[in-house]
Amino acid sequence: MAQPPPVPLLDLKPQYRALKAEIDAAIARVVESGHFILGPEVEGFEQEAAAYCRAAHAVGCSSGTDALLLALMALGVGPGDEVICPAYSFFATAGSIARLGAKPVFADIDAAAFNLDPASARAAAKRCTRLKALLPVHLYGQCAPMAELEALAAELGVPIVEDAAQAIGSDDAQGRRAGTVGRIGCLSFFPTKNLGAFGDAGMVVTNDAALAARMKMLRVHGMEPKYYHELVGLNARLDALQAAVLRVKLKHLDAWTAARQANAARYDRAFAEAGARDGAHALNAGGLPLRYPTAPGAPARHIYNQYVIRVPAERREALMAHLKAQGIGTEIYYPVPLHLQECFASIATVKGSMPRSEAAARETLALPVYPELTPEQVDRVAAEIVAFLRAE
């Protein structure tokens, strides 16, 4: 029998095909205007994205990484300062701290949601002498435990910057939108995100008018007015073409997120029926040796930028290879925790010091969850995984 069609980890083509006329018209509008950097398209997108994020201000910029840099710079983070972040995230979280000459101080994650663990962050703070901020990440599209982190930040007298690169439209356990709980939230529109540009793009959101003005200045070399520089900033401007594409896509974001949530729920059901348990259970706690993501209850909202399971470390490579042979794409986010990255060897804590981050790096596997997947494709991916893990 012929093998069914492949299921890639992500396929962006159906989304473009569905919106082709609208997107092409938006691109043509920008090209004909001759206004390619910042300007009215960017301002329009900033207003619409701010409303979507329930933030008073949004400042578009050139990537999620630059959003992190702008946020930290606006808060005065510089050489010798310390910022606490999770040891398990995409590199940019810690890289942006280090790029400013500050020190990322790593804390461990919680095993179920892969997000910054408040108790570990509190222990990390005890090691700090120049702590300037907390930088939690809403990994895979699920909010970090913000109420606990807010209490800790208040105790420590430092602001929170939210790395919401993977979490546009996600809500925390109190129903508050990702990016608006801390002083500044940082978004990425990297093409694989739920709201993806046609290239690099990002944004900072805040309810603080003075910080928004400062970040606007910092994204254009610290310039205001033209050719007068109060600060040394970045070239971190957002292109009008990206803003125009993102304005079209933003209108569809909630529908896409709902489709991702439906796919996630379908995986959850298939895995639970096969004897797997959710991420609140240790891998060795019995049942099928697979843990699916713990879905947060309302009012929290998980936007499933990634659907990440946990499998025994010694079987992960073989499972990936088996799925690849079946035409099913998967990915490991992330194989090396941040504290063990070579570039942080001189500052970071040693192997074994962040056990939950290290276990996540060995055990996690991201499955296809993009909105256009059919129920049959989800069922097939789940069935292949279950059959593989059942076979000894």
Residue 63 engages ligand PLP in binding (rule: CB under 6 A)? yes
Question: Within 348-387, which residues bind ligand PLP (CB under 6 A)?
Answer: none
Length of the chain measured in residues: 392
Dist CA 289 CA 310 (whole Å): 8
User: Nearer Cβ to ligand PLP, position 138 or 247?
Assistant: 138
Residue 170 engages ligand PLP in binding (rule: CB under 6 A)? no
Q: Which of 81, 150, 162, 163 binds ligand PLP (CB under 6 A)?
A: 163
User: Nearer Cβ to ligand PLP, position 202 or 279?
Assistant: 202
Nearest to 365 by CA among 269, 273, 271, 259: 271
Q: Which stretch binds ligand PLP (CB under 6 A): 162-170, 280-288, 340-348, 353-361?
A: 162-170
Question: Within 92-131, which residues bind ligand PLP (CB under 6 A)?
Answer: 92-93
Which residues lie below 8 Å from residue 35, measured CB to CB, with a gap of 6+?
Answer: 41, 240
Residue 190 engages ligand PLP in binding (rule: CB under 6 A)? yes
Residue 188 engages ligand PLP in binding (rule: CB under 6 A)? yes
Burial class of 101 by CB neighbour count within 10 A (0 to 12, 13 to 18, 19+)? exposed
Q: Which stretch binds ligand PLP (CB under 6 A): 48-56, 159-167, 245-253, 384-392?
A: 159-167
User: Nearer Cβ to ligand PLP, position 166 or 170?
Assistant: 166
User: Nearer Cβ to ligand PLP, position 53 or 288?
Assistant: 53
Residue 90 engages ligand PLP in binding (rule: CB under 6 A)? yes
Dist CA 21 CA 166 (whole Å): 27
Question: Within 282-311, which residues bind ligand PLP (CB under 6 A)?
Answer: none
Q: Which of 166, 170, 207, 357 binds ligand PLP (CB under 6 A)?
A: 166
User: Nearer Cβ to ligand PLP, position 202 or 293?
Assistant: 202
Q: CB 318: neighbour CB atoms within 10 A?
A: 11
Task: Tell me the closest approach of the beta carbon of residue 164 to ligand PLP, in angstroms.
Answer: 8
The answer to whether 94 touches 85, Cβ cutoff 8 Å, is yes
User: Nearer Cβ to ligand PLP, position 243 or 389?
Assistant: 243
Q: Which stretch binds ligand PLP (CB under 6 A): 60-68, 211-219, 228-236, 334-342?
A: 60-68
Residue 181 engages ligand PLP in binding (rule: CB under 6 A)? no
The answer to whether 311 touches 290, Cβ cutoff 8 Å, is yes
Residue 144 engages ligand PLP in binding (rule: CB under 6 A)? no
Strands 131-134 and 82-86: parallel
- Residue number of the CB closest to ligand PLP reads 64
Which residues lie below 8 Å from residue 65, measured CB to CB, with a gap of 6+?
Answer: 92, 95, 96, 188, 202
Summarize the chain as % helix, strand, coil (round to 5).
40, 15, 45
Applying CB under 6 A, what is the total number of residues that bind ligand PLP?
A: 15
Reported in sequence order, the residue ranges of the chain that DSSP labels E, i.e. its strands, are 57-61, 82-86, 103-107, 131-134, 161-163, 184-188, 202-206, 277-278, 291-292, 307-310, 364-367
Binding-site ranges for ligand PLP (CB under 6 A): 63-65, 89-90, 92-93, 137, 163, 165-166, 188, 190, 200, 202
